[in-house]
Chain A
Amino acid sequence: MSKEWLDRLQQWAPYAVTPLIVLAALPAMGLTAWVTLTIAGLTMGMMLFLVASGLTLIFGLMEVLNFAHAAFVTVGAFVTVSVLGPLVGWTTAPSLTLNLLALLMALLAAAAASGALGFVFERIIIRQVYGAPLHQILITIGALTVIEQLVIVIWGPDAIALPKPATLRGSVFLGSSPIETYRLVALFVGLAVAAAMQLILTRTRIGLVVRAGVEDREMVQSLGYNIRRVFVGIFIAGTALAGMGGMMWGQYQALVNYQIGDSMLILVFIILIIGGLGSVGGCFIAAILVGLTSNYAGFLAPTLALGSNILLMALVLLWRPRGLFPIGEQ
């Protein structure tokens, strides 16, 4: 086998991991369950991607480890509660249009609230700890606790029910496989956001600067771009995406509590590590991989559901220590 062929195989092998897992799962569970779980896994992956994509860019651009990212998920979920409460007439109406309109308003409000909080958070907390990883970890974990306590002060300590809109409660059938209607909506939203991000990153000047900044921040500055200003924008966008993820996840679970963000954080960090820190494309593929693995393992070996993703991460790191799609690899 020639060296060139081996290099090419090495380069493309990470792309084959997800399809191989999907194909390997088929004979283990039968077609009906496989279709249902694959769509469920993709949906879960999309919701995780919403949260993880912002975090990976925040780390990639300024090497800021923001453990408080979970708090923006929580804020997004609770803002959804506040927005959909008064819109109960729309969410209970047997009208798909009104139901989707209510979700859209909640999505925009969650993104706006988390993004605005993100802006304040960056100005007051994050800018004090640039280049100091230990301080970042300590202060962002502390801030996570403070924001969660503020959520308790505003919305109370108890879990709040967040029923799905009337027309999105049932299932549709793909062949003989039942698919929850809400999952299709979440899948669509996730794909739309991923497509929008891809367009911005690959077709605009600011996207070009962000991609370059993730690779070599210093050189981007030497070319005349103020990377800190760019970073503030990315931080706001990243926290807004976390808010959207919180809205979608809370609605998916139909229940919101102040630890909803924490429950996603472990999976989000697993995604960042598997995908390669700072890589949005890697984040997208890793999110799908984690979503699928959770669902397949939950069906085949329920006791291994969470452990399956940790195992997956360990295997990936043994194979590629910097993740599947590392940034800065020449």
Chain B
Amino acid sequence: MAEADDVLLRLDDVHTDIGRYKILHGVSLTARRGRVSMLLGRNGAGKTTTLRTIMGLWKARAGQITFDGQPIGAMDTPDIAQLGIAYVPEYMGIFGKLTVRENMLLATGAQGFAKDSLDRVLAWFPALKLKWDSTAGSLSGGQKQMLAIARAIVEQRRLLLVDEPTKGLSPVVVDQLVEALLGLKNEQTTILLVEQNFRVALAIGDDVAVMDQGRIVHSGDMAALGADEELQQRLLGLSMAVDT
């Protein structure tokens, strides 16, 4: 497959401002089809802003964002989502007053749940099945994260944008999430994943882009970065949670 065809999402020289603050200073990155692209960097590097800019939640001041060759930078968020892009924000975006079932239902089309797809998702996250009719606000932090990811994948999506899914979760829950993300990877789902846990990034990622101060300062192969401790230290410093 030619390189251009291989790319599902492309950002070219994207600049984003929030109020009078300039957050992204010409970000260029790609997410290739069927691969997991990691977006790493210190706190405040601009990773979340990059995902939110892709989703149209914050508009880019300059630069171009294309999805499957189609420019999406000027589109509204609902239209971007309709293209098949699912977004799991860092704060999870769970509707606490709605039940687990209702949270999931919101991510389906008018026909509701497709049984096969629902069974597949609940097999990854059996805890959700037990809490099916409970309000999402009553779930633990780990269960909420499971729900956020389950909701993003309950229907077939072309691209998943996931922001720090393992943040603040216990090791057991992290393992469960990693297993689900590996399952999605095996299904050739294209994922752009922001992650602070380097062990998780190494286990899941195919490609990597590292951000610093609103710019991409490194991009390449995740395994290569995993093997180069000097590069890790230089790019990610001590703020990255290296868990060996």
Interface residues of A (CB under 8 A from B): 205, 208-209, 211-212, 215-216, 218-227, 327-330
Contact = CB atoms under 8 A, between A and B. Distances in A.
Given A211-B97, A226-B76, 13 more contacts: A211-B95, A211-B98, A212-B106, A216-B95, A218-B57, A218-B93, A219-B93, A221-B77, A221-B78, A222-B93, A223-B107, A223-B151, A328-B97
A222 B95 contact: no
Contacts of B110: 205
Contacts of B107: 223
Contacts of B151: 223
B96 A226 contact: no
B212 interface: no
- Interface on chain B toward A: helix, strand, loop, or mixed SS? loop
B82 interface: yes
B81 interface: yes
Contacts, number: 59
Name the residue among B82, B97, B110, B151 with the largest chain A CB count within 10 angstroms: B97
Interface of B: 55, 57, 76-78, 81-82, 87, 89, 93, 95-98, 102, 105-107, 110, 137, 151
A223 B81 contact: yes
Contacts of A221: 57, 76-78, 81
Contacts of B57: 218, 221-222
Q: Would you list the 3 A-B pairs with minimal beta carbon distance, nearest first?
A: A219-B93, A224-B81, A221-B77
A259 B81 CA distance: 46
A224 B82 contact: yes
Nearest to B97: A215
Contacts of A225: 78, 106
A109 B17 CA distance: 49
A311 to B, nearest CB: 29
A327 to B, nearest CB: 7
A223 B82 CA distance: 8
A222 B55 contact: yes
B84 to A, nearest CB: 9
A12 to B, nearest CB: 14
